[in-house]
Amino acid sequence: MKILVADDDRELGEILNLALTRAGFDVVRAMDGEQALELFAQTQPSLVLLDFAMPKLDGLEVCRQLRTQSSVPIIMLTVHNAEEEIVRAFELGADDYITKPFSPKQLIARVKAALRRSGASVSSALTVGDVRLFPERHEVLFGGGETVRLTPLEFRLLHVLMLNRGQVMSTDQLVEQVWGHEEHIGDRTLLKGLVRRLRQKVDVDPDRSSLIKTVAGVGYSFMA
């Protein structure tokens, strides 16, 4: 279970890191607000710990922006007696807050509680190489950050291929999983067309060989 920690205080960050790691979480660290948003998009954590005071973008702004795209649990870290900040944070959709200083024990308890409340709304981002696919958003993101618009069938094909990365999928398997039913089995024409259109969108870099490898006489596989 991944947790994104956004805090510019190196020392505090280390404490958080240690406590969370010891509790069995994977920690991803951001040192400022911009980086936090970036890492969120990349890593799709299950929970976010946000410090209020941060360079570039402060915690409130990060919170606001995260809330426009995700309902991930957000816990704010704040200094004592900052009522005003806390109120704003709740208004912007934060789930909880912890005042510094706090005990690691308390932190873990809050984190677990927030995760429990959020149910199992874990994001299932699929990453292969520098291609990331978000099923719940129907979106594909490249390492650089560019997104590609895919049609429903293109998306399903890519999804299937990425779920089975490295493995060769026979044409029949692919046809069945993409189109869903028997009628088209045995017909390679449709798959040919679809693979072509998908390659045009996905193979951004014309130098490198296609991400979708053809295995002659069998089918296709994604990446090597």
Instruction: Based on the shown chain and the rule CB under 7 A, indicate whether residue 44 belongs to the binding site for DNA.
Output: no
- Least Å distance between CB 168 and DNA? 10
- Least Å distance between CB 212 and DNA? 8
d(CA 160, CA 171): 12
Query: Reading across the β-sheet that carries 169-170, which strands appear in turn?
Result: 169-170, 219-222, 212-215
- Least Å distance between CB 204 and DNA? 15
Q: Are 76 and 94 in contact (CB under 8 A)?
A: yes
Please give the helix or strand (H or E) that residue 13 lies within, else none: helix 10-22
Interface with DNA in residues 121-150 (CB under 7 A): 149
d(CA 62, CA 42): 15
Selected range binding a copy of itself among 29-37, 159-167, 176-184, 201-209, rule: CB under 8 A: 159-167
Instruction: Based on the shown chain and the rule CB under 8 A, indicate whether residue 172 belongs to the binding site for a copy of itself.
Output: no
How far apart, in Å, are the Cα atoms of 12 and each of 24, 57, 75, 212? 18, 19, 15, 44
d(CA 186, CA 202): 25
Q: Which is nearer to DNA, 40 or 179 (CB)?
A: 179
Among the listed residues 86, 148, 160, 190, the single contact to a copy of itself using CB under 8 A: 86
Which residues of this chain interact with a copy of itself, rule CB under 8 A?
64, 67-71, 83-84, 86-87, 90-93, 95-96, 103, 105-106, 108-109, 112-113, 116, 122, 127-129, 136-138, 149, 151-152, 163-168, 215-218, 221, 223-224
